[in-house]
Amino acid sequence: MDGKYNKMSGMNKIDSWPLFLVGLQFVLSLETQDLYFCLAGLVLLLFSLAVGLSTASGQTPVVFFDKAQIEQSDLGDCWFLAGVSPLCNSNNLLAWVCVAWDVKCGVYGFVFWRDGGWTSVVVEDYLYITAKDFHRTQAGHQDRFDNRRVIWKDTYQTGFSSLHFASCGTSEYFWLPLLEKAYVKTHGDYQALSLGWTADSIQDLTGCVVDYVNCDILLDPDKLWAELRAVSGEHIFALDTPNGSSRASCDNLVFDHAYSIEGGFDYFDIWTCKWKQLVKIGNPWATRQGVWRGAWGDRSKE
């Protein structure tokens, strides 16, 4: 990171990578089958504090991560984002992943646990957007100096809504797409993140030992419940739903999908005079689709 900063400072320019691989299969699966036209090249995010940096006078900037800002794109990396979400609540563990940055030069340093050791990754703040440039549209071909190009850029090529991959929801923060880009760099391209296991993402982000828990063969359910209640402490959990022959769901939960586990709660039901054990889960889609609609869910009679 220091070497990258010194190089960019000496050249008096921000860091840039003219082509960041997306993955051939992913590109060919898009409508236009053209890398440049599909992703419209790269866009430089010109926000001075766009990655969620907060600083006080004379203090070092601090990065704040909020799980509520996580929003998945069409890329099938729900397993990675479901592993990111619980780390936002666990003593801000993601701060150990985002280890260095320089907003002025536009470079950000991350570390991931890969192949038995920590691997450092440096990325620049160029991110893929979906909309092509105005002069490449039908109207733009007719008159590339049309005044509508400014409106087009402000509407379709600016801010979180313009990003092609993961975004921080409706906020103007960009820590998530930068984190995703750094993780992509360790895998080679974006296509490599399509489909995976949440256990792998949690291990890559923390370096901790991970294990799979099958609730059907638990020896001590009470022990697991105690760990779920302390999910923001020593343990981190995520949920992989089983495979399904179709995209059908159980009480609106999607099969073959990854959810984050935000904690376990004991709730006393005054109507039955019994304690209920409830688990709160989060969907990286950040929409009403794919959320639990059964008992004790949002808008349920309970």
> What pLDDT, in 10s, does the model give residues 177-199?
899 999 999 998 898 999 899 99
Residues in the chain: 302
Q: Identify the pLDDT of residue 245.
A: 53
CA distances, 273 to each of 74, 241, 269 (Å) = 44, 31, 5
Distances (CA, A) of 105 to 9, 174, 182, 293: 7, 16, 17, 46
pLDDT of residue 12: 41
For residue 275, pLDDT beyond 80: yes
Which of the residues are catalytic?
A: 78, 257, 283
Tell me the mean pLDDT in the region 217-228: 86
Q: Are 185 and 176 in contact (CB under 8 A)?
A: no
More confident residue, 240 or 61: 240
Q: How far apart are CA 174 and CA 177, in angstroms?
A: 6
Question: Can you give the pTM of this predicted structure?
Answer: 0.74
Instruction: Report which of 157, 194, 161, 175 is spatially closest to residue 80, judged by C-alpha positions.
Output: 194
